[in-house]
Structure 1
Amino acid sequence: LIFTINNLVTQNKSKLLANPRLAVRDGETAKMNIGDKIPFQVVNAQGVPSVIIIEAGVQLEVTPHIGTDGFVTLKMHPEVSSIKTPPSPGVPPTIATREADSSVTVKDGTPIVLAGLIQKNEIETTVKVPLLGDIPILGWLFRNTSNDKIDNEVIFVITPHIRPHGCAGHRGPAAVRSDEDPAHGSRLHALDPGLPEGRGGQPPGRRGPLLARGRLLGSLAAAPEHADPLWGRVPRQIRRRARARGENRR
């Protein structure tokens, strides 16, 4: 059906009235109005005049409800109205209205087609020769009258799309560390921006300086006696005496 509609538009046999895009929250109602606003003056019982605005054109109200399985339920109220007779002083305009109520459940990205809003118009057209067509009795010889019946149908094509929460202000997958298992959704350890990650692939629960100090202490325990940095601060004479005493004991 959508392919057929596109062909009719391409062949100028149909006209695209509007191609809007609406954004609405789950459970709330969005309204679209494309048409004219006709002011009409009325007078109440006290003689005070007031102006009433009458809308005519294409209107659509949509209320979505998002399911947990990727489906969307849309409650729709399309309305198409047109002016049959314009307003005159003290007489309101005549509005022809076509409307419907529908509730459909579809999968995300599946188009919905609402059709059947048909309006039938009868147009009488008279073509005549100036002056001669107004002659009584013989005037019909110089004028031609035709009656045309026009069926006008408005079709709504609605395609719902569920917008993910990865918008401004939300930290999406880009903010998740690579140590989170995407298959099971279990986080191995969280990223704390105030605690630097340890060296050697250690988790950020241990600071870098603590790990460096641990390595340093380990190397001192395995090093020979003269490798102690405190040994270099002892005066040279005392170091000689200590070495001599050690040799005598041996």
Structure 2
Amino acid sequence: MNLFERLVLRRLQSADAGAEAGGAAGTEAPAASAVEASADKPADQTSAADKPVTTDKPAGDADKPAAGDKTPEQLAQEKELADKAAADKEAKDKADKVPEKYEFKSPVEGQEFDAEMAAVLDPVARELGLNNEQAQKLVDIYGKEILPKIEARQQESWAKQTEAWANEVKTDKEIGGDAFDANIGLAQKALDTFAPAGLREYLENTGLGNHPDLVRCFVKVGKAMSEDSMIMPNTGGQRSAADVLYGKN
């Protein structure tokens, strides 16, 4: 018999009993309904209010902190980490700011950074909002990568120029051609006689000794020195080297 059939049966039995008792069913029906309602509930559906409340902690957990509570050691460790993070952030923010004065270092070890270059770079770095580390990177890139390439190109260009001068001297109508070797010998003689050692070294190292006008000058001096004697009407004797060089009569 299912639950609905049981309910109908109980209703019928209650009605019959009420009729026999002469109307007493009006007072007994609520009690039956209460019984029925109780009987209709599953056995395991007990009201929460009827269940006992247990507040005791399991044995061994009495000394443990409740959920969310932290030990003093944990709190101290968290504070230390928070202070370190704040200090690191402050240092980073400070480093990211444009400094009052940039402290540039020379990209070449052992050399001081050029003051004039610093004066040029400072306003540019400040306008770009660079911190000291970022500005120094520009200095390093320029000094280690860009400047050496510029200098190499300049040296290459200068070498081509001095070589072109030498070729011009060799083909010059006055001092070149078949007379080139003899004229160069005369110029060398003049250099050895009048030019200090430092000047000769400088002309050789820089390539300026190949300049056509300079070669012509020393060739003329060498020719004048090679003449045995030059009788001058106002001196009655030979012209000195100073006369040849400085045009004295």
Q: TM-score, normalised by structure 2?
A: 0.19
Specify the structure having the higher radius of gyration (Cα).
Answer: 2
Structure whose residues are more often helix by fraction: 2
Structure whose residues are more often strand by fraction: 1
Q: TM-score, normalised by structure 1?
A: 0.18
